[in-house]
Structure 1
Amino acid sequence: MNPIKYTVTTDILATKGMRFANFIIDYIVQIILGVAIGMVIGVVSELTGSYGLYDLVVETEGRLSDYIFGAVILIVYYLIIETLTARSLGKYITNTKVVLYDGSKPTFNEILVRTLCRIIPFEQFSFLGDVGKGWHDSISKTYVVDNAKFESQKATFEGLDEIGRIGE
């Protein structure tokens, strides 16, 4: 007998509002991290008398250096937190999480692809379509789901699957 496998359905996907809230919250966290890192670099530079890193990160004026510094913070933030928990701070607050099509937790490689796609210019506008799925979701083949709906649907599926096995 071929068992039926669980799959994510569109009714449990996070809404565009939830996704926007995730973006805003996570962006604020990244700004705070950037400021904190800049302050640490400034203090360490003052204490050691070595200003090489300070000049490179803090004093360099230009959009390219700002973009690179922001991209590094973004990559480190999402890669660490989503690899460990499948959720960012924004996703914890909105009770959403990242899953694969079968409802399982994404691997490091899938989170890496997802994270690197976030630095594609204008990626934030990819949510304007009907489904509200960004390029970092589509390319990495991941889904952001409403955790309450996901857990409820998955529990129902597993319960029905268990009932189906009783007759075997």
Structure 2
Amino acid sequence: MKNEFTQVMSERTDTELVKIVTIDSGKYNPMALEGAHGEIEKRRLDPVKFSAIKDKITSRANNILYVESKTAIRLLRFVNFVIDFIIWLFLIAVGSYAIELFIHPKNESLITFLIFFLYFGTYLGYYAIMEIKFQKTIGKFITKTTVVKSNGDRPSAGDIITRTLCRLIPLDRLSFLLTNHGFHDRLSQTKVINDRLK
């Protein structure tokens, strides 16, 4: 059994080994821990490097715990949705008025295209622009919540675009019936946390 763990641990990175023998030590059996310690000794891992890796891992784990403890409850997420939905309807109303004002009614195909673009463009644009720029929508400003990465970092533009596109998944809204995190949270590895608890 020891040889099996020795082989497994030899394939782990320095960071994985340090994590195993420090913050994750309770998740492993004694033989696995012995294999990890043996591999660290075999590699002659510098104590300064070991300590730096351990600090980085601990900091990352603490950030994740912090984000989890500040996760916005479903009621706040629902309030965000309602506020942002009303704003989206307002944007559609303004856009529809502009289309009626400037496009001749005989241009049915153009009007159909513009209405289609208006619905999806304003929906995606509203969420993407607001969350890329501010990490929050108007609904989140009102409820004092914000979007962060699962580790507490600021999401990149790519994260927000993924998050925004995932909102189009048909069952995304229903996913909140089971958990505080919708599909668009999980797939973009983001979370909504309370600002007031920072």
Query: Fold conserved (TM > 0.5)?
Result: yes
Is 1:28 paired with 2:86? yes
Task: Supply the distance in 2 between the matched residues of 1:45 and 1:70 (Cα, whole angstroms).
Answer: 17
Q: Which residue in the other structure is 1:54 paired with?
A: 111
Task: Supply the distance in 2 between the matched residues of 1:71 and 1:119 (Cα, whole angstroms).
Answer: 10
Task: Supply the distance in 1 between the matched residues of 2:112 and 2:195 (Cα, whole angstroms).
Answer: 44
Q: Which residue in the other structure is 1:96 paired with?
A: 145
Task: Supply the distance in 1 between the matched residues of 2:118 and 2:172 (Cα, whole angstroms).
Answer: 18
Structure 1's unaligned 5+ residue stretches are 59-64, 152-168
Superposed CA RMSD in Å reads 2.0
- For these two proteins, the number of residue pairs brought into alignment is 139
Q: Which residue in the other structure is 1:16 paired with?
A: 74
Task: Supply the distance in 2 between the matched residues of 1:94 and 1:37 (Cα, whole angstroms).
Answer: 27
Letter in 1 for 2:156: T
Structure 2's unaligned 5+ residue stretches are 1-50
SS in 2 for 1:148: coil
SS in 2 for 1:132: coil
Alignment of 1:103-122 (within 5 A): 103-122=152-171
Q: Which residue in the other structure is 1:62 paired with?
A: none
Task: Supply the distance in 2 between the matched residues of 1:137 and 1:19 (Cα, whole angstroms).
Answer: 12
Letter in 1 for 2:168: I
- TM superposition shift of 1:50: 7.7
| Larger-Rg structure | 2
Q: Pick 1 or 2: higher relative contact order, CA cutoff 8 A, min separation 6.
A: 1
Moved over 6 A (4+): none
